[in-house]
């Protein structure tokens, strides 16, 4: 999966059923990130919420019986409503906050 250039890895979490999701932060604006993934993924994606703005791109087929989350790239605006942004979980590191967070949920690895 292509990560937006310059995005900082924030954390990964166990999503269950053999999946993980990965968070990346950037100070590029929400629309810039959405347009980047529209180009890279060659799809429009879907605006899930207008306020706060959340846009999702499906990157694989969701199989409810074997997956916890649909494989996807989700972009969220953390400056909505005057917020200063998503707090950097790495204390003392710069930037202190991120305007936009990218969540990537790949399909689970194929089990042998």
User: For 62-80, what is each residue's pLDDT tens digit?
Assistant: 988 888 889 999 999 999 9
pLDDT band at 110 (very low <50, low <70, confident <90, very high): low
- Two tokens, residue 16: 């269950």
Contact in structure between 39 and 74 (CB atoms under 8 Å): no
Residues above pLDDT 70, as percent of the chain: 97
With H, G, I as helix, E, B as strand and everything else as coil, classify residue 55. Answer: strand
- Residue among 44, 59, 46, 48 nearest 3 (CA): 59
pTM greater than 0.85: yes
Q: In the prediction, which pLDDT does 112 show?
A: 41
Average confidence (pLDDT) over 89-108: 94
């Amino acid at each position: 999966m292509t990560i937006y250039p310059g995005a900082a890895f924030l954390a990964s979490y166990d999503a269950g059923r053999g999946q993980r999701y990965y968070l990346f932060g950037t100070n590029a604006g929400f629309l810039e990130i959405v347009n980047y993934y529209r180009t890279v993924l060659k799809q429009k994606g879907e605006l899930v919420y207008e306020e706060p703005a959340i846009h999702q791109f499906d990157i694989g087929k969701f199989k409810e019986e074997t997956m916890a989350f649909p494989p996807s790239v989700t972009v969220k605006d953390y400056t909505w409503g005057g917020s200063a942004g998503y707090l950097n979980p790495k204390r003392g590191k710069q930037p202190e906050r991120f305007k936009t967070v990218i969540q990537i949920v790949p399909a689970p690895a194929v089990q042998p």
